[in-house]
Amino acid sequence: MNALLVLLAAALLACGAVPEAHAAKKVKAAFVLLESVNDHGWTEAHHEGIQHLKKTLGDQVEVSYTENIVSPTDAERVMRDYARKGYDIVFGTTFGYMDVMAKLSLEFPGTKWDHCSGYKTTANMGNYFGRIEQGEYLAGYMSGLMGFKNVGTVATQPIPEPIRGINAFTRGLQKGLKEAGVTFDENKVNTVVWLKSWRDAQGETTLAETLAGRGHDLIRQMADTPDSAKAACAMNVPAIGYGMDVTRFGAGCSLVSTVWNWGPYYVKAVKAVADGSWKPGEYWAGFEDDIVRLSPFHASVPADVQKKVLAELEKMKAGKDESFLGPILGQDGKELYPAGSRVPDKDLLTKRFLVKGVSGSIPD
Amino acid sequence: MWADLVFLGQIAVKSSVAVALAALGELVAERSGVLNLGVEGMMLMGALAGFAAALTTGDPWLGLGAAALVGAALAGLHAFFAVALRANQVLAGLALTILGAGLSSFLGRSLAGQSGPRFRPLHLPWLSDIPVAGEIFFTQSAPAYLLYGLAPLLWYWLFRTGSGLRVRACGQGAASADAAGVNVARTRALCTVLGGALAGLGGAYLSLSYTPGWATGMTGGQGWIAVAMVVFAAWRPLGAVAGAMLFGLFQALQFWFQATGQELVPAWLLRMLPYLLTIAVLAVVQGSPSLRRRAGAPADLGRPFAREG
């Protein structure tokens, strides 16, 4: 019912795709967005990337976007419209558009297609994503150094993307706890409860309150709204934000947020279109490309902790990402990846496993 | 054990106030014979108006007032189409939901992300100290107490007063009510408007208490659950409130079991249960006319009334 409603609303809004600039001989870039540009999360982060693109390239680029496109069928209509209008490149910003974009890329070979968070490519369709789990690893490391050892996670959909975040956070948390010399329950430092939704303000609130009420000392999440963090704050339990700096949206108790920064990628892609060097690639980068960031720390995060976390961040920028460096143990303690080996990207993108220290299971 | 029960109860109540208020409103409208599927839209506009008014005035109570007014105004629109113009109520209601969703998203742009005043849990002397029940029901915020007052009041009005009887008569047999001298159109319009005011309050509960602040589409389908709740409760006010809280409990339990690692009832079942129950009730009520009558379904629900037939 709700989906139907969103669909109807989307159809209404879609009628007024927003044209933003006019001049001749420039790259025409179109963005198709999942939610509204002020959703306080996923889509707002993309919208800020779009703003960055416009500011950086000025009159070299003409940008349009359509928001609230939830269903792939809707996306197909909107994207086909952009392709027909002669847009040079169309960005689709949610997993669900993947098949539609792959299809349209064959239908419109002259248009360039770039898809966020998927795994398909064609002769003129690439994909891009950021390693937000690097940020989660650092947020976990920070939490461990501060002695949080009974974290509650508001988990969204049981697919590889949030699972990577859960695993990275848990590994960072354990590293921090060990460095801080805190004793902890090796099998249960991070309790995961699934919301089975990307965006459900009421459910997130109920879930975060349940976790806080059960005595979890820190609430982290990867949902598309800041409501888990807000609910935690209301119960005087600190939180970790995701997607955007949640302190901007009333979650003042958040210790740090992992933040998407799509702007530089959009600039790079549009520039490549302008000079003819654009190729359909599989882009997946992290701190080294500034596509993910950490928000400023909360005042209660001790200075030496901040220093250690930022030092680790510098290492990641230099390409030394240890978040998925073996040995990696599964929940049952069995070694999944031996010492010194790194979990291959293919496994990270497709496999569903939880590391030791996570309490909870992966539902189907 | 008791502490867990209290905690679950608190969350169940807390997460169901908005649905309960909106369901009460829809119930009044439906009892008078008007089906209003615009609850979700009215709740969204109520949430926005409530937050905006509270933010400007600094007083969440004024927010509640504004939300009720805006909800009532939108319901007035529905009454105009459904009662005065005798349009198809399903279509008019759906249009209202779409209007409310789009308009609130558009008007709320500048308010998204701002923090304003909110209702906090309010400790009531004596009542809050009753073990278990008091701890569950009387550690809530002010709008919840408003709900506790409204539900029995509405029940009394609908089932124990002359004007309540006239409302039910408009829903049960509009022609007979008309013959008995009841102004069907006016009664229906007023009940629809009252229903809208309550839906507005429900929305404002979200933006001023449960998930404070304004976010596009923040009701997330609660309006539809409220519509279902009216059927589920067989058009009885106290049933609607109890049903809303039961649904809230299902959700709280679903997370609770996952968090404790002991899934006595699987999460997927708890997630499905509200909808399964609603479908079951709907099937029973629709399938058997005598049960439907006994359940209290207004016979003239959704039928526009015109004297000349």
> Are the C-beta atoms of residues B263 and A217 closer than 8 Å to each other?
no
In what helix (H) or strand (E) does residue A78 lie, and over which residues does it extend? helix A72-84
How near does any CA of chain B get to the CA of A317, in Å? 31
Residue A344 falls within a domain, yes or no?
yes
Segment B122-167, tens digit of pLDDT? 999 999 999 999 999 999 999 999 999 999 999 999 999 999 999 9
Number of domains in chain A: 2
| Nearest one of A152, A248, A251 to A208, comparing CA atoms | A152
How near does any CA of chain B get to the CA of A318, in Å? 35
Same domain, residue pair A232 and A115? no
Same domain, residue pair A169 and A249? yes
Q: How confident is the model at residue B275 (pLDDT cuts 50, 70, 90)?
A: confident
B chain contacts of residue A1, beta-carbon cutoff 8 Å? 221, 224
Residue at a domain's end among A130, A154, A180:
A130
> Are the C-beta atoms of residues A195 and A204 closer than 8 Å to each other?
yes
Q: What angle do CA A107, A113, A119 make, to 5 degrees?
A: 105
Chain A residues bordering chain B (beta-carbon distance below 8 Å): 1-2, 5-6, 8-9, 12-13, 35-36, 38-40, 152, 191-194, 196, 199-203, 205-207, 209-211, 213-214, 225, 227, 230-231, 248-250, 359-360, 363
Residue A166 falls within a domain, yes or no?
yes
DSSP state of A326: S
Q: For the beta carbon of residue A314, count every other beta carbon within 10 angstroms.
A: 11
Strands A335-337 and A328-329, how do they pair? Answer: antiparallel
Q: What is the distance between the alpha carbons of residues B176 and B276, in angstroms, rounded to a whole number?
A: 36
What is the per-residue pLDDT for A11? Answer: 52
How near does any CA of chain A get to the CA of B259, in Å? 6
Share of chain A above pLDDT 70, in %: 93
Residue at a domain's end among A104, A130, A156:
A130
Q: What is the distance between the alpha carbons of residues B188 and B32, in angstroms, rounded to a whole number?
A: 5
What is the three-class DSSP state of A32? strand
Same domain, residue pair A96 and A126? yes
Q: What is the distance between the alpha carbons of residues B187 and A174, in angstroms, rounded to a whole number?
A: 65
- Residue B279 sits at the chain A interface (C-beta within 8 Å): no
Residue A279 falls within a domain, yes or no?
no
Mean pLDDT, range B240-246, rounded to an integer: 95
> Are the C-beta atoms of residues A156 and A223 closer than 8 Å to each other?
yes
Q: Write the residue in A2, A203, A248 that is nearest to B251 by C-beta.
A: A203
Same domain, residue pair A71 and A217? no
Q: How confident is the model at residue B290 (pLDDT cuts 50, 70, 90)?
A: confident
> Are the C-beta atoms of residues B233 and B49 closer than 8 Å to each other?
no
Q: Which of A22-36, A143-157, B241-255 has the lowest mean pLDDT?
A: A22-36
Same domain, residue pair A60 and A158? no
A chain contacts of residue B215, beta-carbon cutoff 8 Å? 39-40, 201, 225, 227
- The interface pTM score, or ipTM, of the predicted complex is 0.87
Interface contact flag, B97 A205, Cβ < 8 Å:
no
Does the structure show a pLDDT above 50 at A16? no
In what helix (H) or strand (E) does residue A12 lie, and over which residues does it extend? helix A2-14
- Residue B98 sits at the chain A interface (C-beta within 8 Å): yes
Mean pLDDT, range A149-159, rounded to an integer: 95
Q: Which of A327-341, B107-121, B268-282 has the lowest mean pLDDT?
A: B268-282
Interface contact flag, B216 A38, Cβ < 8 Å:
yes
What is the per-residue pLDDT for A350? Answer: 87
| Structure-model confidence comparison of residues B282 and A311, the more confident one | A311
Residue at a domain's end among A88, A114, A130:
A130
DSSP state of A69: -
Does the structure show a pLDDT above 60 at A362? yes
Same domain, residue pair A246 and A322? yes
Type of residue numbered A245: D
> Are the C-beta atoms of residues A174 and A357 closer than 8 Å to each other?
yes
Same domain, residue pair A200 and A316? yes
How near does any CA of chain A get to the CA of B152, in Å? 26
Type of residue numbered A263: G
Same domain, residue pair A86 and A153? no
Q: What is the distance between the alpha carbons of residues A188 and A49, in angstroms, rounded to a whole number?
A: 37
CA dihedral A235, A241, A243, A246 (to 10 degrees): 70
Mean pLDDT of chain B: 92
Residue A265 falls within a domain, yes or no?
no
Query: In sequence order, what are the residues at sequence separation of 6 or more whose Cβ sits closer than 8 angstroms to the Cβ of residue A299?
Result: none
Residue A154 falls within a domain, yes or no?
yes
Q: How confident is the model at residue A8 (pLDDT cuts 50, 70, 90)?
A: low
Does the structure show a pLDDT above 80 at A14? no
What is the per-residue pLDDT for B176? Answer: 94
> Are the C-beta atoms of residues B96 and B77 closer than 8 Å to each other?
yes
Burial classification of residue A71, based on how many CB atoms lie within 10 Å of its CB (0-12 exposed, 13-18 middle, 19 or more buried): middle
Strands A151-155 and A125-130, how do they pair? Answer: unpaired
> Are the C-beta atoms of residues A355 and A167 closer than 8 Å to each other?
yes
- Residue B7 sits at the chain A interface (C-beta within 8 Å): yes
Handedness of CA B119, B134, B229, B159 (dihedral sign): negative
What is the per-residue pLDDT for A3? Answer: 55
What is the per-residue pLDDT for B268? Answer: 86
Type of residue numbered A326: G
A chain contacts of residue B113, beta-carbon cutoff 8 Å? 38, 40, 248-250
Q: For the beta carbon of residue B90, count every other beta carbon within 10 angstroms.
A: 13
Segment A58-111, tens digit of pLDDT? 999 999 999 999 999 999 999 999 999 999 999 999 999 999 999 999 999 999
Q: Which of A22-26, B50-54, B216-220 has the lowest mean pLDDT?
A: A22-26
Q: What values do phi and psi take at A243, rounded to 5?
A: 90, -55
Residue A274 falls within a domain, yes or no?
no
| Nearest one of B64, B178, B51 to B111, comparing CA atoms | B51
Question: Is domain B2-295 given the CATH code 1.10.3470 in the classification?
Answer: yes
Beta bridge partners of A221: A154
Type of residue numbered B8: L
Residue A10: CATH number of its domain: 3.40.50.2300
Does the structure show a pLDDT above 80 at A208? yes
| Residue keyed to tokens 């996952």 | B258
Segment B75-126, tens digit of pLDDT? 999 999 999 999 999 999 999 999 999 999 999 988 987 888 999 999 999 9
| Nearest one of B164, B256, B108 to A208, comparing CA atoms | B256
Segment A244-296, tens digit of pLDDT? 999 988 899 999 999 999 999 999 999 999 999 999 999 999 999 999 999 99
Does the structure show a pLDDT above 80 at A53? yes
Same domain, residue pair A86 and A162? no
A146: its two tokens:
């501060």
User: What residues make up the domain containing A47?
Assistant: 2-130
| Nearest one of A46, A40, A80 to A63, comparing CA atoms | A46
> Cis link prior to A327 (omega < 30° from 0)?
yes
Q: Write the residue in B101, B210, B267 that is nearest to A202 by C-beta.
A: B210
Q: What is the distance between the alpha carbons of residues B167 and B183, in angstroms, rounded to a whole number?
A: 10
Size of interface A-B (CB pairs under 8 A): 107
Residue A270 falls within a domain, yes or no?
no
Same domain, residue pair A308 and A203? yes
Which region, left, alpha or beta, applies to residue A282 given φ > 0 means left and ψ of -120 to 50 means alpha?
A: beta
Mean pLDDT of chain A: 92
B1: its two tokens:
């054990």
DSSP state of B81: I
Query: In sequence order, what are the residues at sequence separation of 6 or more whose Cβ sits closer than 8 angstroms to the Cβ of residue A236?
Result: A253
Same domain, residue pair A211 and A354? yes
What is the per-residue pLDDT for B114? Answer: 84
Does the structure show a pLDDT above 70 at B13? yes
Q: What values do phi and psi take at A284, rounded to 5?
A: -145, 100
Residue A285 falls within a domain, yes or no?
no
Same domain, residue pair A185 and A91? no
